[in-house]
Structure 1
Amino acid sequence: MPKIALITGGNRGLGRATALALIDAGVEVIYTYRGDPGEKIDAVALPLTVGDLGSYDAFAGSLRQVLADRFGRTDFDFLVNNAGVGAAGSIAETSVEAFDEMLNVHWRGMFFLTQKLLPLIADGGRIVNLSTGLTRFTGEGVYAAYAAMKGAVEVFTKYLAKELGPRGITANVVAPGPAGTEFGGGALRDNEQVRAHIGSVTALGRVARPEEIAAAVATMLGDGAGWITGQRVEASGGMLL
């Protein structure tokens, strides 16, 4: 029986790349989107605003319906908490509005969405939470709020691994370095000056391709990673070593 993965924010960027990587590996994919579901792929798309906690009951109901109708199951195997928003700004410049948006999506929303979905994750399943290389290095020094939210995600993941261990469920973090997606306005994809600068401080000399980050996530969901839990795996090409 094929495994089933749920990916938040799978309509674009790293989430879409992860969905495609898992489909290629024979995994059935359900992904969430806000607004535009993105280009059609062989997956189930469900609308969800991760920061809207009031919508989680209805979302869980929709997910149960899809699991029953399409797959004949009551649970799924892999949860990838990928959905995110980015806002650069120094500590002095960060607005309450920008802070709260990141808090609701990256931390508060991710925490309580995971909580809501725990009964639907199969014993022996896997959880991968997306973080960032910016919890290890400060980059340009303008991501304090964003990186702090992701730091909370990394601590949460250790507790999640401990709590879910008796069910045989692993929980790990994949922390990407800069990748060429539309995230944050697409500068890492489109601005050659920015890309060259990142490459100059990265051991492998370039910005990541989205599919390379997706491959790291897929690896953590694969059969060979079953004895790894509570860990942070950075996929940054050796940035700022």
Structure 2
Amino acid sequence: MSTLTPKSAPTITLVTGGSRGLGRNTAEHVARAGGDVILTYRSGADEAAAAVAAIQALGRKAVALQLDTGKVATFAAFAGRVREALASEWQRDSFDHLVNNAGHGDTAPLADTTEAQFDRLVDVHFKGVFFLTQALLPLLADGGRIVNFSSGLTRFAYPGYGAYAAAKAAVETLTVYMAKEFGKRGITANVVAPGAIATDFGGGLVRDNAEVNRQLAAITALGRVGEPDDIGPMVASLLSPSNRWVTAQRIEVSGGQAI
């Protein structure tokens, strides 16, 4: 069981999938708020290096570690690398915040979804979140925070996302149990559920397909699709001391999509 961060020390946030998209945006906003970052990447080493450089340009420390969040067998070794990074870069044995963001889009109608597609979605979006959190729990400081990424697609349906949304719904239930079981250590656990966001997720469908973008904007109360800067600052604020009493909540950040 790890100890609280010394009051004079910056917080350390571990963001999975922090080299691009919403993960990178979250990591940069954590840095802008004065925190340091450990980010993970699956294969884009150059993107990860660029994200680290951007955080360092903000005056904060950052480390990038390779991780495939769909491969549970690698998590023990990854936890060891996190421990080594904490000792060498921060002279600490714990970090403060875990943001389970890493993911991918793989769309198919239910009738056409293959077992391989299903397994990969569950491995990354649910099983990976469960067992990575378990592996890192001894390194997470008492009084820390967990933020799991879900999706607005657990509330509204969009064709082709059935398996993806089901995995995210499982994470939402898991988060409530995290809040209950880890609360004795003062650790909060919450879910952030973005709506349609203009990133490269799903091949950049929302960002690059003008007709899809228009259709989604038309069913969103605020009249547009989301941008990464609509999500990262919200996650960073959820990690701040001012939100210490928020736990076991699903917070949708969708601009009022499909209401």
Runs of 4+ in 1 over 4 A off after TM superposition: none
Distance in 1, Cα, partners of 2:179 & 2:191: 10
Selected match of 1:199 from 217, 230, 235: 217
> Secondary structure at 1:69's aligned position in 2?
helix
Q: CA deviation at 1:130?
A: 0.1
Distance in 1, Cα, partners of 2:42 & 2:36: 20
Q: 1:84 matched to which residue of 2? A: 103
Q: Which moved more, 1:59-68 or 1:33-42?
A: 33-42
Q: CA deviation at 1:142?
A: 1.6
Name the amino acid aligned to 1:85: H
Q: 2:34 matched to which residue of 1? A: 26
Q: CA deviation at 1:125?
A: 0.4
Q: Give yes or no for the alignment of 1:219 onto 2:237.
A: yes
Q: Give yes or no for the alignment of 1:53 onto 2:58.
A: no
Distance in 2, Cα, partners of 1:146 & 1:239: 18
Distance in 1, Cα, partners of 2:30 & 2:124: 24
Distance in 1, Cα, partners of 2:30 & 2:206: 24
Q: 1:173 matched to which residue of 2? A: 191
Q: CA deviation at 1:85?
A: 1.1
> Secondary structure at 2:189's aligned position in 1?
strand
Q: CA deviation at 1:135?
A: 0.3
Distance in 2, Cα, partners of 1:223 & 1:204: 29
Distance in 1, Cα, partners of 2:169 & 2:205: 23
Matches within 5 A, 1:32-43: 32-37=40-45, 38=47, 39=50, 40-41=53-54, 42=56, 43=62
Distance in 1, Cα, partners of 2:249 & 2:128: 21
Count of residues in Structure 1 that have an aligned counterpart in Structure 2? 240
| Partner deviation per Cα, 1:13-61 (whole Å, 9 max, x = no partner) | 1001101111111110000001113124322100001011111111111
Q: Give yes or no for the alignment of 1:93 onto 2:112.
A: yes
Name the amino acid aligned to 1:234: E
Q: 2:124 matched to which residue of 1? A: 105
Q: CA deviation at 1:148?
A: 0.2
Distance in 1, Cα, partners of 2:209 & 2:33: 32
TM-score by length of 1: 0.98
Percent of residue pairs identical: 53
> Secondary structure at 2:92's aligned position in 1?
coil
TM-score by length of 2: 0.91
Q: CA deviation at 1:190?
A: 1.4
Name the amino acid aligned to 2:31: I
Selected match of 2:248 from 230, 235, 239: 230
Q: Give yes or no for the alignment of 1:6 onto 2:6.
A: no
Aligned-residue CA RMSD (Å): 0.8
